[in-house]
A and B are shown apart, each in its own frame.
Chain A
Amino acid sequence: MKYLDEYRDSEAAAGYARALARITTRPWTLMEVCGGQTHSIVKFGVDELLPEAVTLVHGPGCPVCVTPLELIEKALEIASRPGVIFCSFGDMLRVPGHAKDLLTVKAEGGDVRIVYSPLDAVAIARQHPDRQVVFFAVGFETTAPANAMAVFQADAQGIDNFSLLVSHVLVPPAMEAILSSSLNRVQGFLAAGHVCTVMGYTEYEPIASKYNVPIVVTGFEPLDLLQGVYLCVKQLEEGRAVVENQYARAVRREGNRPAQDLVRQVFRVVPRKWRGVGEIPRSGLGLQERFGRFDAEARFGVAARAVEEPAECISGLVLQGLKKPHECPAFATRCTPERPLGATMVSSEGACAAYYRYRRMKPVELTHGVPA
């Protein structure tokens, strides 16, 4: 397909690998922010083309993975109610709650439906005025314009039996949380291409200068990722720390203004809890007061609840780039995509699932005698 296949050219990839090897003089640790990038890196073996000195760690950019357990529990409770049609992207259905997942609710007779777009959920609400239709609105900035449009259209068309269970998160605050941690080892970022398609990249400029960290807006194909790594390492080697745009075919500095305008009309910035990480101030989106009647949490009165995350799951460390999936003693043994302990093993973009699918390694700790 045009604009995909050409960016998988192995000769050009080899060219970038050689160029990168030429300029790399010492060890550097970079983080790719987005789960889509992680998936592509592991699937195409991009990391295996890099000089040994360059390490890629995988970031928090998988919205399915960072949705806190409390919200999964709220989804399960709402989806179990009679009269509800619960709509979601497919990824969320297998994320384990405390006792079950959305697929189990469906098997028990709940009306849980996978949709391709939030507008499909609005259409279902229009077709079933006697039912309550709830859409599980998870996502980063990339998905916010679609969810904003769903609410905006439901409001304009008087579709009152539609609501959103909102779990929207924002990338820049998570990057700052990682950079300000005393454990941080990330020296440069590949910023998430499609998040920047919507938001542009001006909000990353103060982060690059405050933390003296290069940030390269990067696409998702192997050549995009290799060029992103090259540009980032080049900045590090030259002692620079600015925002660069590798993905200019899809990203403009100011982003997509019409999309940002509608997102701002429908959503406001709120604190959000990230699974495995904890609450990060101003790191999520919630509905504006004007659209508050579309908030499923209020509509269904689902009380806040504290749910313990499985103690054995290290997804919080994986999401912050502090551990690699195969460094977890449960990886591929007590935690698999069929029986996941945490969300990073569920979503196809979760780092653990990507490692499991493409790179089944023996957990390194096992050789050091970590008890099973």
Chain B
Amino acid sequence: MCLAVPGRIISIEDGDPLLRSGRVDFGGVVKRVNLAYVPEARIDDYVLVHVGFAISTVDEVEARQVFRYLQQMGELAELEASEGAP
């Protein structure tokens, strides 16, 4: 129920802030999404989408921390492959 899927904003229609919406690309599937709750989001940003609403932008730097933490714990050898992954 609380599923939220990350996708990339490919267009934004501004106007009434509560009706602000845009098109979001989920790995090839494009859907119209309400962007009222992510006023800071811009085209090419990744947002987490739940029942047609973006509820958060994805922080690119924080997105790597799960791998950085592993590196700091000395699981480095196993890390290199995933750290280089797109």
Binding site for B on A (CB under 8 A): 1-4, 6-7, 9, 11-12, 14-16, 18-19, 34-36, 61-64, 89, 91, 116-120, 138-140, 142-143, 145-146, 149, 152-153, 156, 192, 194-195, 197-198, 220, 223-224, 227, 246, 248-252, 256, 258-259, 262, 347, 349
Instruction: Report the separation of the CA atoms of residues A15 and B52 in the bound assembly, to the nearest whole angstrom.
Output: 35
| Residues of B with C-beta under 8 A to A35 | 1-2
Chain B residues 54-86 with CB under 8 Å of chain A are 55-56, 58-60, 62-63, 65-67, 69-70, 73, 75, 78-79, 81-82, 85-86
CB of A249 within 8 A of CB of B82, answer no
The total number of A-B Cβ pairs within 8 Å is 147
Summarize A's interface: helix, strand, loop or mixed: helix
CB of B85 within 8 A of CB of A145, answer no
CB of B37 within 8 A of CB of A258, answer yes
CB of B51 within 8 A of CB of A116, answer yes
CB of A194 within 8 A of CB of B66, answer no
Binding site for A on B (CB under 8 A): 1-6, 8, 18-19, 26-27, 34, 36-39, 46, 48, 50-53, 55-56, 58-60, 62-63, 65-67, 69-70, 73, 75, 78-79, 81-82, 85-86
Q: Which of B52, B56, B73 contacts A250 (CB 8 A)?
A: B56
Instruction: Report the separation of the CA atoms of residues A198 and B62 in the bound assembly, to the nearest whole angstrom.
Output: 17
Instruction: Report the separation of the CA atoms of residues A195 and B70 in the bound assembly, to the nearest whole angstrom.
Output: 26
| Residues of B with C-beta under 8 A to A142 | 1-2, 4, 50, 55
In the complex, what's the smallest C-beta–C-beta distance from A198 to chain B, in angstroms?
Answer: 6
Q: Which of A12, A198, A220 contacts B78 (CB 8 A)?
A: A12
CB of B82 within 8 A of CB of A146, answer no
Return the chain B residue nearest A20 by Cβ.
B73
CB of A258 within 8 A of CB of B70, answer no
Q: List the 4 shortest-distance A-B pairs measured between CB atoms, nearest first.
A: A117-B52, A15-B75, A248-B62, A1-B27
Instruction: Report the separation of the CA atoms of residues A91 and B51 in the bound assembly, to the nearest whole angstrom.
Output: 13
Return the chain B residue nearest A62 by Cβ.
B1
